[in-house]
Amino acid sequence: MDKKPQTSSSQQCCVLPKKVATETKIADEEGKKAAASKSASKIAETSNNDAVSDVKEKVTDKLASPEKSKKIPIINQQPDTSYKPEGTAVPRTKPPLPAPVLTGRPIVLATHLVPSLPITLFEALAEAIEAATNQPVVLLHESRTNRPVARDVTDIAILPAGEDWEEGNLLPVSFVFEHHLNKNFSPAVYADVVVATDRAPHVENIMDLRGHRCALPDRRRAVGVATLLFNQLRAKGEGPAFFGNTLDANSQMSALQMVAGKQVEVCILESPVIKYHRKSLPGVYSLHILSSLGPLPPYPIFVNKNMSNDVVNKIKEYLINIRNDTEWMEKLAPYGVLGFAEYSKSLYDFQEMKTVATSAPYY
């Protein structure tokens, strides 16, 4: 029988220390791994806590400081990079509308919205009325404020928002102007608060305009942009002494020119005026729209009480359907007109606007 080799005591003493050393080394490595894992967990937990703290701080800061209002430049100063070939052909013109019968008495159309709105807009309207009635239309315009309608000669009168004509009946159709607040094709008129660009960084809303000089185009009217502005201030607990000084402007366009010319820092005027004059008024690049208010009642169109219902209905239907005619829309587009819309008299009888003081007493 084979005999198993016997290990001497000295050999056993040599083997045991090596085994113990190996086990100790393994234990040390496992301890290091556990410590590293614990350290990594602690770092991750700390990072998560820091991230949560950052989010909380950002939310707190956002709640503490309200978002700034977005001021809209009246005209974009970015260069026009669209392709414009030189020597382009003259655009094609469409055949003229049938000429009206010139033998009868003409319809006299009088507008009291010039020069704030261009006379060419009402020339286009006169042409539309001729097409609707097959009668010639003579256009009159009154540029002075607070002038009555020439009742003995006027058949159709277009007046500022909120004005009335006792000798006429309201034609419940009016212009629809493009505006970012006009979401439902409404003929109501909106107003814009305009500030100079050098003041824009210092104001975020109307309440930051305290002590500034303000131009008002229609202070004496019962319903107008001035009344709209001071109703807004009244709702905030302010009065006509809110502004450092208020200056009267002869027209809506004059108010815009006063801001562009640095005579005042702020003005309020009807949006359709800005829409047309923004590309031709000197200094318009230095203006921003701070806020928009409204709406105001539509620009009222009155017809003389002696005008036949048949003619009135023809005009009404023709104007309402203009939005479906591409040729007419091309003519009206430069004025920001989207068409014409019918409205109820309740919109014209604007009851929400209260009569407020628009000037402070002088002592």
Q: Are residues 146 and 286 in the same domain?
A: no
Q: Are residues 173 and 304 in the same domain?
A: yes
Residue pair 108/155 in contact (Cβ under 8 Å)? The answer is yes
| pLDDT attached to residue 193 | 96
The residue with greater pLDDT, 177 or 79, is 177
Residue pair 302/157 in contact (Cβ under 8 Å)? The answer is yes
Give the angle 55-58-61 at the CA atoms, nearest 5°: 150
Give the number of domains in the chain: 2
Residue range 309-335, pLDDT digits in tens: 999 999 999 999 999 999 999 999 999
Residue range 232-243, pLDDT digits in tens: 999 999 998 999
Q: Are residues 224 and 266 in the same domain?
A: yes
248 three-class SS: strand
Lowest average pLDDT, out of 23-27, 75-79, 143-147, 334-338, goes to 23-27
Lowest average pLDDT, out of 4-13, 150-159, 173-182, 350-359, goes to 4-13
218 three-class SS: coil
How crowded is residue 164: how many other Cβ atoms within 10 Å of its Cβ?
12
Which residue matches tokens 């009569």? Answer: 355
Q: Say whether pLDDT at 128 is over 60.
A: yes
- Asked whether residue 321 is domain-assigned, the answer is yes
| pLDDT attached to residue 7 | 46
- Counting DSSP H helices and E strands in the chain, the numbers are 8, 13
Residue range 285-314, pLDDT digits in tens: 889 999 999 999 999 999 999 999 999 999
Q: In the predicted model, what is the mean pLDDT of residues 108-137?
A: 96
Give the angle 197-115-192 at the CA atoms, nearest 5°: 35
Q: In the predicted model, what is the mean pLDDT of residues 251-259?
A: 92
Q: Are residues 161 and 207 in the same domain?
A: no
Residue range 169-215, pLDDT digits in tens: 999 999 999 999 999 999 999 999 999 988 878 899 999 999 999 99
| pLDDT attached to residue 93 | 62
Cα–Cα distance for residue pair 116/276, rounded to 1 Å: 9
Confidence band for 60, pLDDT divided at 50, 70 and 90: very low
Nearest to 270 by CA among 332, 192, 218: 192
- Asked whether residue 362 is domain-assigned, the answer is no
- Asked whether residue 245 is domain-assigned, the answer is yes
Q: Are residues 174 and 252 in the same domain?
A: no
- Asked whether residue 335 is domain-assigned, the answer is yes
| pLDDT attached to residue 248 | 94
Q: Are residues 194 and 268 in the same domain?
A: yes
- Asked whether residue 314 is domain-assigned, the answer is yes
Which residue matches tokens 């105001």? Answer: 296
- Asked whether residue 276 is domain-assigned, the answer is yes
Domain ranges, residue 324: 107-178+298-348
Residue range 90-107, pLDDT digits in tens: 655 666 677 787 788 999
How crowded is residue 248: how many other Cβ atoms within 10 Å of its Cβ?
17
Q: Are residues 117 and 262 in the same domain?
A: no
Q: Are residues 289 and 305 in the same domain?
A: no
- Asked whether residue 284 is domain-assigned, the answer is yes
Q: Are residues 212 and 341 in the same domain?
A: no
Nearest to 185 by CA among 350, 338, 321: 338
How crowded is residue 339: how many other Cβ atoms within 10 Å of its Cβ?
19
The residue with greater pLDDT, 203 or 61, is 203
The phi, psi pair for 50, rounded to 5°, reads: -65, -40
Query: CATH number of the domain that 164 lies in?
Result: 3.40.190.10
Q: In the predicted model, what is the mean pLDDT of residues 120-148?
A: 95
Round the average pLDDT of the chain to a whole number and report it.
Answer: 80
- Asked whether residue 164 is domain-assigned, the answer is yes
Lowest average pLDDT, out of 13-27, 74-88, 338-352, goes to 13-27
Q: Are residues 240 and 290 in the same domain?
A: yes
Q: Are residues 111 and 171 in the same domain?
A: yes
Q: Say whether pLDDT at 350 is over 70.
A: no
Q: Are residues 174 and 303 in the same domain?
A: yes
Confidence band for 108, pLDDT divided at 50, 70 and 90: very high
